[in-house]
Amino acid sequence: MEFQAQTAIWLQIARQVATRIMAGEWPPGERIPSVRELAAELQVNPNTVVRSVTFLQDAGIIVNQRGIGYFVADDGVSKARDMRKKAFTEELLPPFFKTIDELGIQWDELKTWYQQHQNNSKS
Amino acid sequence: MIDVQSMSFSYRKNRPVLDRINLQMEAGGVYGVLGANGVGKTTLLHLLGGLLFPTAGNISVDGKKPMLRQPSFLEQVYYVPVEFDLPRVTVQAYQKRYAPFYPHFSITSWLHALETFRLAADASLSDLSFGQKKKVILSFAIASGCQILLFDEPTDGLDIPSKDSFRRLLSARIDEQRLAIIATHHVHDVAMLLDHLIVLKAQHVLLESSLEQLTTHLRTVTTVQLPDADELLYSERIPGGHHCLLRNTQGQEGPLDLELLFKALQSHPEIIQNSLPYEQHI
């Protein structure tokens, strides 16, 4: 698997798991794969996944049931969305705004493109 | 688990390959050993495995001296060399012949590895290509149950899907009791498995660090324009702009391209002293 290069791997894995939770791959209350299973799937060091999982637990997205594994929290989906949103506003928006300024793009133009994009995804 | 104290080795008198090096490695870790050709990576693996004896200094592996080659040491160490000769027997016969030397050998892991690598147990080793033979040896290593796994260029000769398989198999075998050491030039092949990095240069250990430490203090980015000279440690041109090694001042771990770090260290070894807080011996 290729990892996008702008953040640490453990954080990329945490975000990927959050994305999969948002997509409903593991609904609230369901067990997510173990550290070992995730590590093998992603071909990374299990210690890296331990950090990702700890991070998701601290964010309240998953909960640990001792001896059994990690489960998606009841409000895990909205917490996962919060986490992704925070990353988006902090990391993707600044360079996006910078490019907009550089190219002198107006809000109206952006709005038109966004509407086009929405129409395209509908059809 | 491994303690190397002021250890030197030379093949010829007064021409040390390794000169009074110190290394500590802990169980549970996956250590990458990088270094230019001929710098002594394979020699180091041979010394740790008891295939060569230090000229001076000491090596302790799990409390034992490799050079004594005690059975209790040998049954816990498996070494995958770059090149090897295998007997003219079938894959299955090979396992039957050598597995008894390893009391923790797991048949289940062995069969699983063969299946993952798509190797047939009844194939004759003499009919297999280099890459397929390598996969047999890697399967054996993974199934051996040894506490210490030494890999010299494990991905050499493997096709692309097989590299995936190797990473998946090894990842599943990493645990708190086991130590894996991977010497390689193909750092991209194994970067995601490593949690420690050792860089050898000119008879010495240039860098020994956990990746967590490294990524706290260093990061790599790809940029269109060169970043501030203040942060910038090393860069190279790529089609879209620059691939840069930077001091990490962001307060959180960043991505780190180990290949770029290695290149930077070859031409600018002083980078380490200038950007890492802990003492490194150059």
Closest C-alpha to A2, from A44, A48, A51, A47: A44
The ipTM assigned to this model is 0.79
Q: Which of residues 139-168 of B touch A (CB under 8 A)?
A: 164, 167-168
Residues of A in contact with B257 (CB under 8 A): 5
B118: left (phi over 0), alpha (psi -120 to 50) or beta: left
* DSSP structural state of residue A27: -
Q: Does B221 touch chain A (CB under 8 A)?
A: yes
Q: Which pLDDT value is given to residue B252?
A: 81
Total length of chain A: 123
- The set of residues, in sequence order, having a beta carbon less than 8 Å from that of A51 and lying 6+ positions away, is A10, A14
pLDDT digits 0-9 by tens, B146-201: 999 999 999 999 999 999 999 999 999 888 899 999 999 999 999 999 999 999 99
Question: Which of A8, A44, A47 lies nearest to residue B215, judging by beta carbons?
Answer: A8
Question: Which of A5, A9, A36 lies nearest to residue B192, judging by beta carbons?
Answer: A9
Residues of B in contact with A103 (CB under 8 A): none
Question: Which of A5, A8, A36 lies nearest to residue B172, judging by beta carbons?
Answer: A36
Give the SS3 label for residue A123: coil
CA B124 to centroid of chain Cα atoms: 29
pLDDT digits 0-9 by tens, A13-49: 999 999 999 999 999 999 999 999 999 999 999 999 9
Q: What fold does the segment set B2-202 form as a domain?
A: Rossmann fold (3.40.50)
Mean pLDDT for chain A overall: 90
Query: With contact defined as beta carbons under 8 Å apart, do B205 and B198 qualify?
Result: yes
B282 has pLDDT over 50: no
* Domain definitions of chain A by residue range: 1-123
The tally of CA atoms less than 13 A away on the side-chain side of residue A14 is 26
* Domain definitions of chain B by residue range: 2-202, 210-275
User: CB B164: neighbour CB atoms within 10 A?
Assistant: 15
For the domain spanning A1-123, the CATH number is: 1.10.10.10
Reported in sequence order, the residue ranges of A25-115 that DSSP labels E, i.e. its strands, are 62-65, 69-72
| C-alpha span between B246 and A101 (Å, rounded) | 26
User: Using the beta-carbon criterion (under 8 Å), do B193 and A45 form an inter-chain contact?
Assistant: yes
Residues of B in contact with A6 (CB under 8 A): 221, 254-255
Q: Which pLDDT value is given to residue B76?
A: 95
For an interface test with A, the pick among B165, B166, B192, B220 (most A C-beta atoms closer than 10 Å) comes out as B192
Among all residues of chain B, which has the CA nearest to that of A42? Answer: B168
Residues of B in contact with A43 (CB under 8 A): 164, 167-168, 171, 192-193
User: Using the beta-carbon criterion (under 8 Å), do B172 and A39 form an inter-chain contact?
Assistant: yes
Q: Which pLDDT value is given to residue B253?
A: 84
Among all residues of chain A, which has the CA nearest to that of B169? Answer: A40
Closest C-alpha to A20, from A77, A59, A75: A77
Contact residues, chain A to chain B, C-beta under 8 Å? 3, 5-11, 36, 39-48
Q: How many CB pairs under 8 A join A and B?
A: 56
pLDDT-derived band at A2 (thresholds 50, 70, 90) equals: very low
pLDDT-derived band at B281 (thresholds 50, 70, 90) equals: very low
Distance in Å, alpha carbon of A119 to nearest chain B alpha carbon? 32
Q: Which pLDDT value is given to residue A123?
A: 64
How is residue A85 written in tokens?
């949103």
DSSP string across chain B? -EEEEEEEEEEETTEEEEEEEEEEE-TT-EEEEE--TTSSHHHHHHHHTTSS--SEEEEEETTB-GGG--HHHHTTEEEE-SS----SSBHHHHHHHHGGG-TT--HHHHHHHHHHTT--TTSBGGGS-HHHHHHHHHHHHHHS--SEEEEESTTTT--HHHHHHHHHHHHHH--TT-EEEEE-S-HHHHGGG-SEEEEEETTEEEEEEEHHHHHHHEEEEEESS---TTTEEEEEEETTEEEEEEE--SSS-----HHHHHHHHHH-THHHHHH-SS----
Q: Does B222 touch chain A (CB under 8 A)?
A: yes
Mean pLDDT for chain B overall: 92
For an interface test with B, the pick among A15, A44, A86, A99 (most B C-beta atoms closer than 10 Å) comes out as A44
